[in-house]
Structures are given as C-alpha cells and as structure tokens.
C-alpha cells in the first residue's frame, strides 16, 4: 500500500512549551499497529498531532520517500487520518452528514452512498440519520472513528479511540482497527490501558517526558523495570492461561 512511516529527530510542541525533543522511532511498516504508551504529559497526543501536521515540528516525518512535512494540508489529509481524543460533540448534524463532510471532494460515487459504506463497515449504519446530539458517548466515539478513516488514509492516528466504550465495544472497535491494519494501514494508537495495548499491538513505543523510553513488542516493553521507571508503579507482568499479558499493579510510587 505504501512505504514505512519514518520519524527522525522529531521535536514539536507549542509556542511556549516544547513537548517532544529529538524523538526517533524505528520505521513503522504498513499493516502494523504501534501503540504509544506513557504517563500523562509524556507527549503522546503531541506526537500524533505532529504527524497530523497540527503543531509546529522540526525533524523528519516521511511516508516512504515522501516528506509529509512538505505537503499541503489538503494533500496531507489524504495520507493521514487523525481521530482526536475528544469525540465529535453533541451537535445537530446527523451521523451520515459527519461522514459525508469527511468524504467531501473525494471519489466519484454519490457521497451519501460512500458514507453509508463506511458506516456499514463499523456497524453503525443504523445510526445514519440520527443527529449526533442524541447519541451516547460510545456511539459518538464509534462515529468519530468512522470519520477519521473515511478517506481511507494510509496512516491512521487514533488518540484513545476506546476511552468511552464498554468492554465489549472496546474489543469490537479494536477488532475493526486490527482489520484496518491488516489491509495495509499504518496504525498509531494512543491507549492508557496497558493490558489492551499488550493484546492488540504489534509494537509499543513508551514515551516519558517527550523522549522514547522503550520500543519493541509488548513482551519486550511491558516489563516491571520499565513500568517502575516510566510510570513509577510497582507491577507484576504475568501471562494468563490464553497467553496474553496481564499487568498487576501493587502500588504507585508517586
């Protein structure tokens, strides 16, 4: 589908506060889910915003041979889909209107038809004509995900896409995200739930105060030592009977 996403010597932040300083990640290949973990204020959201082109950045953000930082906002939006942490608000636009807004000026088939296909895919077609105002937090988050991926961008930046969902819907949405990765998208997730991150990620990048603290498979990264160093918690990491990692916290050392 495309080349790897390459992040080299990335520094970014806001006018009065540099959040990330000289961050480099190993190449992120198509078809992979990389989860960014870290304590609060580690720079997770800033990293996604930097890749999405929403904050000032220095350094290189490449998609294969293409320098994303040199693209116009419109061209970048075709390659990068971004789902912010906050779901779409309680507005009067219908679910279908929201997806159609994201799809405007793309493709040839009728806009509403294409938007409906996106909703179908995420299992929310039955909500199509309902205003966002009447939806639950979880439903609005599912629609927000549909809006972010509607244009079928290569890179998907999803900031806590499951934070408002119950356990069953979390698995459902992460299943959809897995399927998107399997189609060749490069998925970057921000999650707070370490067990979910362990279960659904191919690789995990741990950030702490704007720097890369660890990168690797969940088994490599989610160790008691790293959890103590970055999160300042005492924790044990165990495997459950079905093989997935479980993190059992014994106490914080704040």
Which distant-in-sequence residues (6+ apart) come within 8 Å of 160 by Cβ? 85, 190, 191, 192
**How many C-beta atoms surround the C-beta of residue 244 within 10 A?**
14
How do strand 245-252 and strand 233-239 relate by DSSP bridges?
A: antiparallel
Q: Which of 5, 19, 52, 194 binds other proteins (CB under 8 A)?
A: 52
From CA 142, how far away is CA 131, in angstroms rounded?
Answer: 14
Number of alpha carbons in the 13 Å side-chain half-sphere of residue 216 = 8
Of 11-30, binders to other proteins (CB under 8 A) are: 15
Least separation, in Å, of the C-beta of 171 and other proteins?
23
H or E, element range at 239 = strand 233-239
Of 138-167, binders to other proteins (CB under 8 A) are: 144, 147-148, 151
Q: Is 242 in the site for other proteins (CB under 8 A)?
A: no
Of 69-128, binders to other proteins (CB under 8 A) are: 72-78, 80-84, 86, 88-89, 91-94, 96-98, 101-102, 104-105, 112-113, 116-117, 119-120, 125-126, 128
**Site track for other proteins across 55-74, x = CB under 8 A:** -----------------xxx
H or E, element range at 172 = helix 167-182
**Complex with other proteins: residue 22 or 107, whichever CB lies closer:** 107
Q: Order of strands, edge to edge, in the sheet holding 203-208?
A: 80-83, 155-159, 186-190, 32-37, 203-208, 211-216
Least separation, in Å, of the C-beta of 115 and other proteins?
9
Binding site for other proteins (CB under 8 A): 15, 49, 52-54, 72-78, 80-84, 86, 88-89, 91-94, 96-98, 101-102, 104-105, 112-113, 116-117, 119-120, 125-126, 128-129, 131, 144, 147-148, 151
């Amino acid at each position: 589908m495309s080349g790897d996403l390459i992040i080299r010597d990335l520094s970014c932040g806001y006018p009065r506060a540099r959040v990330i300083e000289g961050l480099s990640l190993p190449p992120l290949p198509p078809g992979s889910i990389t989860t960014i973990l870290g304590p609060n204020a580690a720079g997770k959201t800033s990293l996604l915003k930097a890749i999405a082109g929403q904050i000032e950045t220095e350094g290189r953000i490449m998609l294969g041979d293409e320098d994303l930082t040199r693209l116009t906002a419109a061209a970048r939006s075709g390659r990068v889909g971004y789902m912010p942490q906050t779901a779409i608000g309680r507005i009067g636009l219908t679910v279908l209107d929201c997806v159609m807004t994201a799809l405007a000026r793309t493709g040839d088939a009728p806009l509403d038809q294409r938007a409906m296909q996106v909703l179908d895919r995420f299992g929310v077609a039955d909500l199509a004509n309902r205003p966002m105002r009447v939806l639950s937090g979880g439903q609005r988050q599912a629609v927000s995900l549909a809006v972010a991926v509607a244009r079928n961008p290569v890179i998907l930046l999803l900031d806590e896409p499951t934070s408002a969902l119950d356990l069953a819907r979390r698995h459902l949405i992460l299943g959809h995200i897995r399927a998107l990765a399997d189609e060749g998208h490069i998925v970057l997730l921000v999650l707070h739930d370490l067990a979910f991150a362990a279960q659904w990620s191919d690789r995990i990048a741990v950030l702490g105060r704007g720097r890369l603290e660890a990168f690797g498979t969940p088994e490599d990264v989610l160790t008691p030592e790293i959890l103590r160093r970055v999160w300042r918690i005492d924790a044990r990491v165990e495997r459950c009977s079905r093989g997935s990692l479980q993190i059992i916290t014994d106490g914080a050392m704040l």
